[in-house]
A and B are shown apart, each in its own frame.
Chain A
Amino acid sequence: MRRSFRIPNLGGATALILHRPHPTVTSIARQLAAIDITARECWPDLPPDGIAADFIFFDADLGHDEQFPWKPGEAQMPMIALIGSEAPGRIEWALHQNADAHLLKPVGNSGVYSALLIARRTFDARRRQSAEIDELRSRVSARQTIVRAVTLLAQRGIDEEQAYAQLRQLAMTWQMSMEDAAHHIVKWSREGKAGERTDIA
């Protein structure tokens, strides 16, 4: 079971607040200071070192794509939307930035800590899922290669089931995925080198 909680190690982290000077910014900065997070206000654009921040709070009311030095939705850190007007277009824009959590304005005495933890968790989950999806996609696209490799191995006088077992055995011996092993076999066959490989004979 995945543990649901670790003493969150937020001390020493940095957060940027992309919002025009406003009591809401003061309130967020105060709450961040209590958690021992270094906060910096910026407006209208993120500074160049913004890319190294651990968290970004951004204004959903007056924000626009050009404020960020990355394509919409491609931030490399958790993003927290500061929502004043609940106009659907503004919410849609904040979602387009991949907001991982949000705070409603005006921000009072609390809310920042839960927003940080929710944003961090959502961001990590999204990242993990997109890595898993990439991995699965490349596996799906390798299916044809596996079929070809099994066929090639089966041409050496064994049936398909044995050929598949051999492919799995080779992948283990070579310490790579079956997809990669199949890719090598197909490549060597195409280059006419398969005969030189005694291990796949």
Chain B
Amino acid sequence: MRQLVEVGILYSRSGGYALISNACRDGAIAAIADVNADPDSPILFQAVERDPEGNVDRYAPLAEDILRNSSARHIVGCVTSWSRKETIPVLEKLGGTLWYACPYEGFEANDRVVYTHACPNQHLVPLIAWVVPRHGPNGFLLGSNYIWGWETNRVARDLIADANGEVFGERYLPLGETDVTRLIDEIRATRPSFILNNLIGPSSYAFLSAYADLARQDPYFAPESCPVLSCNLTECELPALNGNADGHLVVGPYFRNVAEDLGWPLAGARRCASSFEAAAYSSVRILAEVLANAGGGEDTDFSGAFAGHAFSTPCGPVRIDPRTHHASLPVVIGRIAGNDVDMLEVRESVEPDPYLSRYDRTKTFGRPALRVVS
């Protein structure tokens, strides 16, 4: 007799980041189907789905709705950090757990959240470290006006300083804003070594399109010379970019091409199309395994369930650090080519360090050059 377990799904089907949230949802739904189709699994999942429609104020009430009006204790969901932070108080109040399958800015390790995508030591730090020796240390930082952009750029400022570079500009756009003229003018005027793009959805698409125009006018801004760096751009958004991101650089724990080339495990019978899909798929599979091992009760002691255990996922074997609830993940640096990403460098299984407590400037950038001290 299999145990029926309700599990919350809290992804927006529409709104500015719908491509990402639908990719996450695809992964979670596929994993539920695979668990249910596995006769050996003692768990039978039933999705309790709510759609916040891209409205940040809908996440907390809908999470509360799931936790109060169904038996679900686990929710797979949230894309933006803003929505995750809105949801956490509800989780704490009602004893729910959020499985969060998106890259984020770090500096959080909540007991009620399991973080299955990358944190800064698994995205931003290795990406900047890869770019600086090849393109130079001077960055122009962009972001949408909320915590992901603010905090990621904040860490980037420190990394750039540690690389003896300069921040030539730091600009934010309101979520959804598509007028990027001023950003492009400033970038044209300052000629940085690279651009760090933490814009989200339509703002990001508008920027990459305008930047491709700029590159056609001035070859300095071609991707091989002055690349755009993204820590959250994946295959799920590339079709919306019409080739405008070609040649630019990304980082993530998973890219479809790379998983194919390196022979990483399939998700059931299929290959996940992006890291968002892979991380949400992993979340549900790990949850199923934890619940199966717990043999019933859903109020699981995660620290015990995670300790010393590697879970099989589309990114290969993944461990969850019992202290931080963050995943050890591969770090792949890639170059965008059409609807795919070509691998430039891969590191397997990088331990999570959400507070950058183990960040070491010398290890990241090599010995610092001598600087004039005035």
Q: Report A's interface with B, CB cutoff 8 A.
A: 3, 5-12, 30-31, 33-37, 108-110, 113
Judge whether B111 and A30 touch: CB under 8 Å.
yes
Report if B82 contacts A (CB, 8 A).
no
Q: Which residue of A lies closest to B354 (CB)?
A: A34
Q: Which residue of B lies closest to A33 (CB)?
A: B323
Judge whether B92 and A35 touch: CB under 8 Å.
no
What B residues does A7 contact at CB under 8 A?
155, 158-159, 356, 359
CA distance A36 to B357 in the complex (A): 6
Report if B353 contacts A (CB, 8 A).
yes
Shortest CB–CB separation between residue B88 and chain A, in angstroms? 8
Report if B355 contacts A (CB, 8 A).
yes
CA distance A123 to B87 in the complex (A): 34
Report if B112 contacts A (CB, 8 A).
yes
In-complex Cβ contact of A113 among B107, B155, B358, B359 (8 A): B107
In-complex Cβ contact of A11 among B88, B155, B358 (8 A): B358
Shortest CB–CB separation between residue A58 and chain B, in angstroms? 23
In-complex Cβ contact of B110 among A5, A12, A33, A110 (8 A): A110
Shortest CB–CB separation between residue A121 and chain B, in angstroms? 16
CA distance A47 to B5 in the complex (A): 49
Binary A-proximity of B243-275 (CB < 8 A = 1, otherwise 0): 000000000000000000000000000000000
Shortest CB–CB separation between residue A56 and chain B, in angstroms? 19
A5 in contact with B112 given A34-B354, A36-B358, A108-B92 (CB within 8 Å): no
Report if B154 contacts A (CB, 8 A).
yes
Report if B109 contacts A (CB, 8 A).
yes
Q: A11-B355, A109-B111 are in contact. List 14 more A-B contacts (CB 8 A).
A: A7-B159, A7-B356, A8-B356, A10-B357, A30-B111, A31-B109, A35-B357, A36-B357, A109-B110, A109-B112, A110-B108, A110-B110, A113-B107, A113-B355
Judge whether A109 and B92 touch: CB under 8 Å.
yes
In-complex Cβ contact of B355 among A3, A10, A30, A110 (8 A): A10
What B residues does A11 contact at CB under 8 A?
355, 357-359
A36 in contact with B111 given A5-B154, A7-B155, A11-B358 (CB within 8 Å): no
Judge whether B355 and A35 touch: CB under 8 Å.
yes
Shortest CB–CB separation between residue A23 and chain B, in angstroms? 12
**Contacts of B344-374 to chain A: CB distance below 8 A:** 353-359
What B residues does A12 contact at CB under 8 A?
357
CA distance A8 to B109 in the complex (A): 16
Report if B324 contacts A (CB, 8 A).
yes
CA distance A6 to B356 in the complex (A): 11
What A residues does B109 contact at CB under 8 A?
31, 34-35
What A residues does B107 contact at CB under 8 A?
113
Judge whether A36 and B154 touch: CB under 8 Å.
no
Among A6, A30, A109, the most chain B Cβ lie within 10 Å of the Cβ of A109
CA distance A195 to B154 in the complex (A): 62
**Contacts of B158-178 to chain A: CB distance below 8 A:** 158-159, 161
Q: Which residue of B lies closest to A32 (CB)?
A: B323
What A residues does B323 contact at CB under 8 A?
30, 33-34
Shortest CB–CB separation between residue A110 and chain B, in angstroms? 6
CA distance A109 to B324 in the complex (A): 11
Binary A-proximity of B94-112 (CB < 8 A = 1, otherwise 0): 0000000000000111111
